[in-house]
């Protein structure tokens, strides 16, 4: 585990100055899925809470989704692309094997002064990226960091596999992290991140990397698609999310009552409800929008955060807790004062 705390006498704060999100126009409903696989709206809704997912067009790429979300965050932050010094993109569906998706986004935005890199941490990607941004900003190194979570998961989902294809959607979310001072809000004041590489079989996409290169015939043709053991992920997610929330509360000296809004990774509404019940969080403090997007991996938290900011769910002074769990295995959280 690794954590970063912005101390109360720190000269600099990592403040969320703008958020943005974007989802492709095309929608895939539960009804549509019943025509592709043996399933029902009732089964999907009861087990996952999902009704609709957004699907990228054939020529729409991860960097394009990321750039749209980023433009909206930059506009809300009232800065220009040229003010950005660092771009971190979290994704498991990158534009290419290399260069990084973040480099494509830098070019598409015209963020000429920024350096750019990707991180691969599956559904925990955005909270990992935000913790990196927090470090760079509170150290006084940068004024403006752009953090993005973006996915075109439909490109690696097997639409013949009813256990997984019902879950995932495409989209992007972004946030501008600005250097603030002691007079303003505390911003991202605690981040915690952890990994357990031994848990990789629970959720992964085997090809095409160096283990299963494109130059060799695949021993299983389905290796080009995401593989999940849903039941195992479900149980691990509930346990790890609760542990991660406890870590945040203990290290920040907070009680669960101090949290104004809980924005978890949108992996399954049942998982979120079960976690909220065990944490004794009341319904109005728990944000769920999985019904409209499905699970968008690294994009899910920033899309939800943007909806909360623009929809007035977050007020000045609120303490917001972002928590994620995903492939790797990875997990992490950020505690933010707005």
Ligand X SMILES: CC(C)(COP(=O)(O)OP(=O)(O)OC[C@H]1O[C@@H](n2cnc3c(N)ncnc32)[C@H](O)[C@@H]1OP(=O)(O)O)[C@@H](O)C(=O)NCCC(=O)NCCS
Shortest CB 312 distance to ligand X, Å:
28
Under the binding rule (CB under 6 A), the answer on residue 323 touching ligand X is: no
Closest among 190, 171, 186 to 64, alpha carbons compared: 171
Residue 124 is a binding residue for ligand X (CB under 6 A): no
100 binds ligand X (CB under 6 A): no
CB of 208 to ligand X, least distance (A): 21
> Has 123 been annotated as catalytic?
yes
Q: How far apart are CA 23 and CA 173, in angstroms?
A: 9
Asked if 43 interacts with ligand X (CB under 6 A), we say yes
326 touches ligand X (CB under 6 A)? yes
Q: What is the DSSP string of 88-135?
A: EEE-SS-SSSSS-HHHHHHHHHT-TT-EEEEE--GGGHHHHHHHHHHH
Question: Site residues for ligand X, window 56-95 (CB under 6 A)?
Answer: none
Strands 187-195 and 2-5: antiparallel
Select which of 265, 268, 308, 334 is catalytic. Answer: 265
Kindly state the smallest distance separating residue 101's Cβ from ligand X, in Å.
20
Burial of 46 (0-12, 13-18, 19+ CB in 10 A): exposed
* Continuous H helices in the chain: 30-34, 41-48, 62-77, 101-109, 125-138, 230-252, 269-279, 290-293, 300-310
Q: What angle do CA 254, 275, 132 make, to 5 degrees?
A: 60
Tell me if residue 295 is catalytic.
Answer: yes
Find the binding residues for ligand X in span 149-188 (CB under 6 A). 162-163, 166-167
d(CA 265, CA 241): 10
CB of 5 to ligand X, least distance (A): 27
192 lies in the site for ligand X, by CB under 6 A: no
Which of 117, 136, 212, 234 touches ligand X (CB under 6 A)?
234
Nearest distance, CB of residue 161 and ligand X, angstroms: 9
Binder among 39, 45, 274, 289 for ligand X (CB under 6 A)? 39
Q: Give the gyration radius of the chain's Cα atoms.
A: 19
Distance between CA 243 and CA 195 in Å, rounded? 13
| Smallest distance from ligand X to CB 172, Å | 17
Tokens 């079960």, residue located: 274
For the chain, the distance separating the N- and C-terminal CA atoms, rounded to the nearest angstrom, is: 25
Catalytic annotation, pick one of 103, 123, 165, 308: 123
Complex with ligand X: residue 138 or 324, whichever CB lies closer? 324
Binders of ligand X among residues 235 to 274 (CB under 6 A) are: 267-268
Query: Which residue has the closest beta carbon to ligand X?
Result: 230
Residues marked as catalytic: 123, 265, 295
Task: List contacts with ligand X (CB under 6 A).
Answer: 39, 43, 47-48, 123, 162-163, 166-167, 203, 228, 230-231, 233-234, 267-268, 295, 326
């Amino acid at each position: 585990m690794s954590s970063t705390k912005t101390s109360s006498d720190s000269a600099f704060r990592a403040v969320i100055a703008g958020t943005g999100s974007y989802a492709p126009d095309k929608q895939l409903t539960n009804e549509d899925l019943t025509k592709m696989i043996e399933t029902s709206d009732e089964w999907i809704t009861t087990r996952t809470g999902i009704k609709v997912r957004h699907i990228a067009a054939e020529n729409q790429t991860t960097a394009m989704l990321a750039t749209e979300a980023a433009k909206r965050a930059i506009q809300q932050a009232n800065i220009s692309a040229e003010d950005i010094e660092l771009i971190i993109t979290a994704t498991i569906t990158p534009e290419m094997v290399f260069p990084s998706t973040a480099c494509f986004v830098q070019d598409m935005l015209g963020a000429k002064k920024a350096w750019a890199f990707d991180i691969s941490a599956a559904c925990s990607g955005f909270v990992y990226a935000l913790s990196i941004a927090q470090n760079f900003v509170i150290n006084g190194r940068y004024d403006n960091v752009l953090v993005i979570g973006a996915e075109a998961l439909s490109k690696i989902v097997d639409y013949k596999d009813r256990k997984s294809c019902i879950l995932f959607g495409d989209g992007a979310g972004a946030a501008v992290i600005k250097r603030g001072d002691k007079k303003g809000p505390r911003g991202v004041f605690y981040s915690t991140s952890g990994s357990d590489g031994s848990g990789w079989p629970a959720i992964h996409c085997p090809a095409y990397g160096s283990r299963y290169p494109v130059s060799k015939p695949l021993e299983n043709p389905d290796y080009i698609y995401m593989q999940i053991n849903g039941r195992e992920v479900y149980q691990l997610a509930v346990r790890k999310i609760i542990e991660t929330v406890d870590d945040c509360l203990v290290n920040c000296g907070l009680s669960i009552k101090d949290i104004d809004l809980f924005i978890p990774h949108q992996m399954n509404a049942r998982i979120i409800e079960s976690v909220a019940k065990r944490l004794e969080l009341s319904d109005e403090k728990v944000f769920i929008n999985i019904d409209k997007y499905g699970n968008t991996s690294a994009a899910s938290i920033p899309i939800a955060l943007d909806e909360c900011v623009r929809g007035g769910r977050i007020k000045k002074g609120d303490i917001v807790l972002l928590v994620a769990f995903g492939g790797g295995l990875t997990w992490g959280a950020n505690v933010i004062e707005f």
